[in-house]
Amino acid sequence: MLKYLIVLLVIFDIYTLIDCAITPQEKVRRFPKWAWLLIILFTRTFGNIAWFIAGRPRKPRQNRGGKGRIIPPDDDPDFLRKI
């Protein structure tokens, strides 16, 4: 059982290192990419979790309305043209 846990942690380490390494520098949050790589390497599981919480770029949220953000009528150029 312990062997499987160790294998899973090693796989998680490798995945996190690769994910950090291929992320563009301008999208990395909090620290520079080189600092995140060192944190992940030297703090192991703590660094992996920290990368996913604080360093990894956020994914854009999906709007449920479909069209994007809601514009009030007095700021909407399409609405004002129709008047």
pLDDT tens digit at each of 83 positions of the chain: 899 999 999 999 999 999 999 999 888 888 999 999 999 999 988 999 999 998 888 776 655 555 566 767 777 777 778 87
pLDDT at 62 (0 to 100): 58
Q: Which residues contact 40 (CB under 8 A, 6 or more apart)?
A: 13, 16, 17, 20, 47, 48, 51
Q: Classify residue 68 as exposed, middle or buried by CB count within 10 Å of its CB (0-12, 13-18, 19+).
A: exposed
Tokens 């129709």, located at residue: 82
d(CA 77, CA 43): 53
C-alpha closest to that of 46 among 9, 11, 20: 9
